[in-house]
Amino acid sequence: MVITPVHYIVVPLLAAFAIPLLTKIYKDAARLIPGIVLFYNIIVSFNLLKYVNEHGIISETIAGWQAPWGINLVITPFTGFLASMVSVLGFIIWLYGYRFKRTLKGGLVKYYEILQMMMIAGSIGVIITGDLFNMFVFIEIVGISAYSLTAFYRGRDGAEASFKYLLIGSFASTFLLLGILIIYTQTGTLNMAQIAERMHEVPQHMKIIALIFFLISLGIEAEMFPLNGWAPDAYSQAPSPTSATFAAVVSIAGVYALIRVLFTLFDVPVNNYLMIMGFVTMLVAEIAAISQKDLKRMLAYSSIGQVGLVLIAFGIGSKLAVFGALFLMLNHAVIKSLLFMTGSYFIYNTDNKKLKSLNGIHKRLPLVSFFFSLGALAIVGFPPFAGFWSKFYILIAAGDARHVYLIVGVLGVTIIELTYYLRIVGRIYFAKEEEEPASHKPSINAIIAMSALALFILVIGVYPDLIMQPLNQAADALLNKTHYINQILSLN
Amino acid sequence: MEMLSSLLLIFLIGAITTYFVDSINRKFTGIIAFLFVLLGSLFFYSNIHIGDVFVFQLGGIEMQWGINDYSYYFSYIVLGLGVLALLYSIKYIEGKARQGYFYASFLLTILGMIGVIISQDFVSLFIFWEIMTWASFLLVIYNAYYKVKTKGIKYMIFSAIGAYAMLTAIVFIKEHYNTLLIGEAIERGAFNFQQYRYIPIFLLLGFGIKAAVMPFHVWAPAAYSKSPMSFTTIFSGAMSKMGIFGIGLVLSTFYLQHNPENFYWVKLALGWLGGITAVMGTLYALIQVDAKKLLAYSSIAQLGYIVVGLSTGTKLGVMAALYLAVLHAIFKGALFMVAGAVERQVGTTDMTKVSGLIRRMPWTFFVALVSIIALAGIPPLGGFVGKWLLYEALITESNNYFLVIVIFFSSTAAFLYSYRFLFGLFLGQEEKETEHVKEAPISMLIPMLILGIGSIIIGSFPGLIFEPAAKAMQAIGFKDVTWQMSLLSNIWGNTTHLFLISMLIFSVFIIAFLFLTLKGLKKTRYVGTKEISTSGELPKEWENFTFQHNFFKPFERAASPLYHLNMNRIWKDLGKNTEAFFGFFRKLYTGNGQTYALYVIIFLVLLLLFKDVIFS
């Protein structure tokens, strides 16, 4: 096998160091290289996913150091699926942002491109690593890139948002490290498969304390209420491609980390906790979203709401529910990126970020408005768009588990969601236009990126079978814990 | 290629084509949309036969589309009205902005409705139901958004409540009966109030909201009157019947499977909901000044009758409901077209401003007259037959005499608004402002006339509808509708019988009309000394003494306690309170980093404190 999971980490790191040098030779290198790297990631992901689905789990030990000393990278159908998804979206977001700040002089764009690439590469690292401490390192890489990108505009608001993010993020790091420390002292290893194997030997009270530290720290990364105060500010202050990345890549990695730790490492039942906290997250986020007057903040709260639903679905825990949760993660990543992309063009064409200034904007940006409306209908879960299926499977799973109140609650919250999204659609198309500022038409690369996402929404909405098989395998891989442990221990 | 899916494909291609044709050449958009619907209808009636079934897998779920007599019956309403409404649209919408958007949404709505009636599993039913809903939402906001921007959202919120109630029911049906096929679910007793009561209740809620049943009707007046009239024709005429379609399916199945005597409360509750809907709809229709709003409220009232008919669960009652469903589609479709024609030609449908159009728009008046007669239930037109059946069903088979009184009150009061509509727009003084008004264009008149003549034919020969309706009832489980049902076969087996009744009552009306005309033939009227309406002064030429102003003021005053029962206000208060409640939650996000850090710590402490409770 020529392509190994190591490429995920080595290639972006190499590129990150090479970009400042190459920019001296060729000015556009800073823009082009991340694209090449991210595209290479897609090739790696698809090859690995195909191999894994045919031959079983890959576990790559770095430099031949065996666990517990060495680090291993694990590709299962589950992690392979998420890595492919993140790679593809990372590439599409790069394509979208290709001309971002093209006119900006100086090295700023270079840093933006490098940080953006490292954020995506770090997220993939979180997903594919099989080592707990290594996961911490990757979370830090993602975090540091994200803090700096949030402050990219160097204004007061950006700095404030970035500082909040940093503050809460350092809580996450501290607690995560504490959790890892407890686990290491108890099990004597950092390899996740080995930890999982030895977990039943750990005394109950130690286990619970470690679990709580993980829940707090990874809950912050996964934007769980009440730990998600940083998210709305960060989403709304970051440059728009970065906001899309937060929604499509970073939050996915956060949810992955939480789920991996809870499902594989610990044998403590957390289903009720996940369901309740997921529902509270969703409810509070959607309630907060409905009263927002700023488009990007609204989208940010809506993202948190979607993550809440993902957590609910994982909390239900049946095969179908996990399947639905993965489907929803995919849909959320695609649709929310589309919404952030279109939303940023709206903002670009108005002087402020307020919803009011969207009145009648479809005359200026017909295609972007169409994509936004499509995204709005899809994320609420109207058939025949992709968002419907994920919600439907989750509801069916909730019904099978007889969570009556959950179903009613989720649908009730969906009504709130629908209200604010359709308000905007109405505003875009039918509100009276105010003054007409100069128009920034979307560039061709952005149109391609948005069209690809829109096409996905339509095609999957009409024919979900295209995506069912990898999703099914991924759900199986996540739920089959003993298989995971045995495979990795034998491969080592 | 499977016929049913190609049918849907025609509408889908039509929607996409019209959307793009509009940006190339605006002239042909309407014609192309019309041709697509015509093509679809011809395709439906030539290639699709009762009993066709199409089974396939999608997303791991078995889907089944098919046609039975019951859905075939409703296809007449959807496709028939659809073709006419699009023909009417061509001129109606001419010159307005965003026609591609309008027609594309229109075709998608029709696609959704066709999908609903051909769905034989719950998932595709829900999918098409939602397509129908959002496509129609796009049309509701077409006119209304910048005027009254909450109206469209109100429609959507109520539709969503209905749709999600339905989805909840579907999820439970899957869980309790382990099937998503409607037929199998019925066989296993899913619509049964005995086992899992909430399933049929949620389903009825879902369908009932589309059928504008009290207290969930509040979206309807605004949505019906603010949409483009050519769409309201379909909206009120056909889409509300999708609700009736579902209610009929649920209720008749339930009544047929079980002894309804044990579930008297179901019958009672639904019957009264329908009855109250009818009365309140009628009362609100009376006090409207805008003709479109009057028709909107009248639609709600008429849908109330249909629900009452369905709630009886007897053959006669369901027959009455099905008959009224088609009839309502025809006459209300025609009346909304009339309102649209007046709106287009005059510019407003405010009945205090428009009057005396009879000379200007004689054909429109003819359609309005015929449809109003059908609505009011005066023989020989159809409304009479429908109401006769309904009364007969209520009196002989349900013993619910109070409900009969309520319905009777409502249909009598309906005369008042019928008269007001006719008088306000077409009779009365001719105004100077309306002198230039011309008759509506021919392409708008043709569908109106077809509907007008249709209601005459159906009224005179109700058997034309009874026959497919009887088949439809057999398709949902009624047995031997024609023969063993003494009362109904009494009417049909002996059509002259009904004709006789019609003629008898018709002659009473003729005599009364002649009497009143002859009595009022005196040319001069002497003002008595006690008449003080002008205080002895000579009225000036421009002073308005017409009936249009404060038309039913005394009635309104008399019935004022009833008008206080304003559901709209209740919902509005609910909405406001919810928003205030939300505002409290929203403040959790203070925007202060220290608070957020505090949250993290508090949450950590809480988890540590309650760890034994949470993780046990």
pLDDT of residue B293: 87
| Nearest residue to A445 (alpha-carbon basis) of A134, A137, A184, A95 | A95
Question: How far is Cα B70 from Cα B120, in angstroms, rounded to an integer?
Answer: 12
Question: How far is Cα B156 from Cα A382, in angstroms, rounded to an integer?
Answer: 12
Query: Do the chains contact at A426 and B611, CB–CB below 8 Å?
Result: no
Report the largest interatomic distance among the alpha carbons of chain B, rounded to a whole angstrom. 96
Name residues of chain B where pLDDT drops below 50. 148, 483-496
> Looking at CA atoms only, how far is residue A55 from chain B in angstroms?
25
Q: Which residues of A touch B152 (CB under 8 A)?
A: 422, 426
Report the chain A residue with the minimal C-alpha distance to residue B141.
A426
pLDDT of residue B540: 63
Question: How far is Cα B428 from Cα B595, in angstroms, rounded to an integer?
Answer: 70
pLDDT of residue B341: 87
Question: How far is Cα B102 from Cα A360, in angstroms, rounded to an integer?
Answer: 16
| Nearest residue to B233 (alpha-carbon basis) of B77, B356, B50, B353 | B77
> Residue A343 contacts by C-beta under 8 Å, 6 or more apart in sequence?
A240, A295, A296, A299, A372
Backbone φ and ψ of A254, nearest 5°: -60, -45
Question: How far is Cα A426 from Cα A151, in angstroms, rounded to an integer?
Answer: 33
Question: How far is Cα B371 from Cα B332, in angstroms, rounded to an integer?
Answer: 7
Query: Least CB-CB distance to B167: which of A208, A229, A411?
Result: A411
Query: Least CB-CB distance to A411: which of B168, B591, B596?
Result: B168
Query: Least CB-CB distance to B604: which of A211, A216, A399?
Result: A216
Q: Average pLDDT for residues A293-309, to the nearest whole number?
A: 89
In this structure, what is the dihedral angle of CA atoms B486, B488, B489, B492, given to the nearest 10 degrees?
160
Question: How far is Cα B186 from Cα B124, in angstroms, rounded to an integer?
Answer: 16
Query: Least CB-CB distance to A399: which of B171, B596, B604?
Result: B171
Contact B463, B495 (CB under 8 A): yes
Backbone φ and ψ of A74, nearest 5°: -120, 130
> Looking at CA atoms only, how far is residue A489 from chain B in angstroms?
29
In this structure, what is the dihedral angle of CA atoms B253, B259, B260, B264, given to the nearest 10 degrees?
-150
Residue A212: CB atoms within 10 Å: 23
Question: How far is Cα B396 from Cα B385, in angstroms, rounded to an integer?
Answer: 16
Q: Which residues of B touch A399 (CB under 8 A)?
A: 171-172, 174-175
Query: Least CB-CB distance to A384: which of B127, B171, B591?
Result: B127
Q: Average pLDDT for residues A175-199, to the nearest whole number?
A: 88
| Nearest residue to A426 (alpha-carbon basis) of B20, B147, B233 | B147
Instruction: Tell me whether residue B261 is exposed, middle or buried, using C-beta atoms within 10 angstroms of its C-beta: 0 to 12, 13 to 18, 19 or more.
Output: exposed
> Residue B576 contacts by C-beta under 8 Å, 6 or more apart in sequence?
none
Query: Do the chains contact at A212 and B171, CB–CB below 8 Å?
Result: no
| Nearest residue to B440 (alpha-carbon basis) of B430, B427, B426 | B426
Question: How far is Cα B168 from Cα A399, in angstroms, rounded to an integer?
Answer: 8
Query: Least CB-CB distance to A426: which of B141, B161, B583?
Result: B141
Token pair, residue B143, equals 């006119």
Contact B292, B222 (CB under 8 A): no
pLDDT of residue A338: 92
> Looking at CA atoms only, how far is residue A226 from chain B in angstroms?
6
pLDDT of residue B496: 41
Query: Coil, strand or helix: which one is B58?
Result: strand
Is the preceding peptide bond at B215 cis, omega within 30 degrees of 0?
Answer: yes
> Looking at CA atoms only, how far is residue A472 from chain B in angstroms?
11
pLDDT of residue B148: 47
Q: Which residues of B touch A297 (CB under 8 A)?
A: none
| Chain B contact probe: residue of A271, A328, A411 with most B CBs at under 10 A | A411
Query: Do the chains contact at A383 and B126, CB–CB below 8 Å?
Result: yes
**DSSP assignment, residue A131?**
B
Alpha helices in A363-480 (DSSP H): 366-380, 386-400, 404-430, 444-462, 465-479
Question: How far is Cα B271 from Cα B403, in angstroms, rounded to an integer?
Answer: 7
Q: Which residues pair with B181 in a beta bridge?
A: B121
Report the chain A residue with the minimal C-alpha distance to residue B147.
A431
Q: Average pLDDT for residues A300-305, to the nearest whole number?
A: 90
Least confident of A72-76, A235-239, B458-462: B458-462
Parse chain B into domains and list their residue ranges. 274-477, 567-614
Least confident of A252-256, A348-352, B40-44: A348-352
Report the chain A residue with the minimal C-alpha distance to residue B146.
A431
Q: Average pLDDT for residues A63-74, to the nearest whole number?
A: 74
Choice between A369 and B520, residue whose per-residue pLDDT is larger? A369
Token pair, residue A353, equals 């970020």
Contact B421, B289 (CB under 8 A): no
Contact B99, B93 (CB under 8 A): yes
| Nearest residue to A106 (alpha-carbon basis) of A73, A144, A152 | A152
Q: Which residues of A touch B591 (CB under 8 A)?
A: 233
Q: Which three-class secondary structure string do you get for A184-203?
A: HHHHCCCEHHHHHHHHHHCC
> Angle between the A251-260 and A108-128 helix axes, to the nearest 10 degrees?
20
pLDDT of residue B493: 43
Residue A273: CB atoms within 10 Å: 18
Query: Do the chains contact at B600 and A171, CB–CB below 8 Å?
Result: yes
pLDDT digits (tens, 9 = 90+) for A202-214: 888 888 888 889 9
- pTM to 2 decimals? 0.88
> Residue B321 contacts by C-beta under 8 Å, 6 or more apart in sequence?
B244, B248, B305, B306, B307, B308, B309, B310, B390
pLDDT of residue A335: 92
pLDDT of residue A176: 92
Between chain A and chain B, the number of residue pairs with CB atoms below 8 A apart is: 153
